[in-house]
Amino acid sequence: MSYQPKVYKKAGGDELVVASGGKITIESGGELDIESLTNGAPGAGISGGTGTVFKSSVVRIGDIIRTSILIDLTGLSSSATDGDIIGHGTAAAYLGQITAAKNGTILSGRMTCLEVPLGGADDIDLYSAAAATGVFDAAISTLSGSALVTSGAAWTLGGMKALSAVPAANAYLYLTGGEGGTAAAYTAGKFLIELDGYEA
């Protein structure tokens, strides 16, 4: 009689299988570090900011997929025109791309202010667009962008706004100024963007 363990590595492969009835236990003091489950790098118009922090994760549990994007706007800038893209320099300033294969079909989401924006515009909106070519100071309307979160006023600490629409498959995410008259670099401003998707 052959014995098949409930946790095993497939022969000749790099896949670890947890069969029915099996489990993986992480004991006290142990860690599970999964570095590959990110949503990919942002455009250089985001990552190129001095002091800017951008981190992301994509976690799949069962059929539910949670995408999280954490950003510190320090080092990025807003322009003087309402609806212009926030970023740095002349490179693409998207936060990331949303695909069905990685993020699932997006059902809902939210944007939360973890630190009030200072320096640049404090009324900040979230948009999606089909193109990855949007740069700092360009109007999101030139990309036929769709509003996902419209703040309507300055963000307050702990403020959360649910998405009014969801990004289409393969769309790119952008932050834009939601007010005119504030052309300056950010010295503060942290946000968490969360998208809830499912495997269709």
Tens of pLDDT along 40-56?
999 999 999 999 999 99
What is the model's pLDDT at position 6? 79
* Cα separation, 23 vs 37, whole angstroms: 21
Under a CB-based contact definition with an 8 Å cutoff, are residues 75 and 53 in contact? no
36 pLDDT tier (thresholds 50, 70, 90): low
| Residue 147 confidence class, pLDDT cut points 50, 70, 90 | very high
Please choose, from the candidates 78, 73, 80, the residue with its C-alpha nearest in 3D space to the C-alpha of residue 49: 73
Average pLDDT of span 117-142:
98
Question: Is residue 94 predicted with pLDDT exceeding 90?
Answer: yes
How many Cβ atoms from other residues are within 10 Å of residue 168's Cβ? 13
